[in-house]
Amino acid sequence: MKVEIFSDVVCPWCYIGHTRFAKAAERFRAKGGTIDVTMRPYQLNPDAPAEGEPLIPSLERKFGPNAGQMVRRVVDTAAGDGLTLDFDHAVSANTFEAHRLIEVAERQGRGKEMAERLFRAHFTDGLNVGDPDVLAKLAAEVGVEDGGEGADQVREQIDRARALGISGVPLFLFEGKYAVSGAQPEEAFAAAIDEVAERTGQTPITQLAAPADGCDDDGYCAV
C-alpha cells in the first residue's frame, strides 16, 4: 500500500499525526500487510525567513491572545502521544530547505527518519530548521548524504499539493486517491488503512476471513 504524507516540519499537528499514523502502520505490518510511506512537502508559511525568529511571538502576531491557549492544548495533546513540544525555545523559520533534505533522504531510503529528526529538532531541541549548518548536522546524524539536489522536486510536489486542493496538513493520501485529513486518533488511522486495503485488494492473508473495520462515520478515508 502506497501512502503519501503531506506535512510541514514546523506543524505540531503534523508531528502528532505522523506519530499516530506510524503506530497504526506498524499494526498493519504486524498482520502481514505492506505500507510504503513517502513524505511530501507542504509549507504553512513559505515567506518565513531562513534566519528564523522565536516561535511564540510569531504565533501571537498570527493568533493574538488565543496563542497561549492553543499552545497549551497542543503541548498536552502531544504529551499523550509521548512527544515533548517546547514552544518557548522553538524557532519559526522557512522550511523549504528542510523539505529538500527530506527529499534527498527519501532517495536514500531514510525519508521518514529524516522527517522525524526534523520534527524533534524544531519542537524539542529548539533548533532552526532553516539554518544550513543545522540541517547539515541533522543529515549527518541520520546518515543522509546531501549533495544539494531535490529543490525542483520539492517545488513540483508543493505545486501538486495545491493542484490536489490540499489547504491544510497533515494529509495522508492512500494510493493517490483515498485521503485522511488531520491528526486523527491511532484507531481511525488503523481503520482507514484496513478499509483501503480491502478496497484495493491488499488485505493481509491472515485477515481475509475477518470483516474489515471500515472508515469511521466522519468520512475519513473518503475518496
For the entire predicted model, the pTM comes to 0.89
**Residue 93 covered by a domain:** yes
| Number of structural domains found in the chain | 1
**Residue 215 covered by a domain:** no
pLDDT at position 95 is 98
pLDDT at position 209 is 40
**Residue 100 covered by a domain:** yes
Give the structural domain span for 139. Answer: 2-207
**Residue 166 covered by a domain:** yes
**Residue 76 covered by a domain:** yes
CATH number, residue 67:
3.40.30.10
**Residue 31 covered by a domain:** yes
Q: Pairing state of beta strands 178-181 and 36-41?
A: unpaired
pLDDT in tens, the chain (223 residues): 999 999 999 999 999 999 999 999 999 999 999 999 999 999 999 999 888 999 999 999 989 988 999 999 999 999 999 999 999 999 999 999 999 999 999 999 999 999 999 999 999 999 999 999 999 999 999 999 999 999 999 999 999 999 999 999 999 999 999 999 999 999 999 999 999 999 999 999 754 444 444 444 444 444 3
pLDDT at position 62 is 87
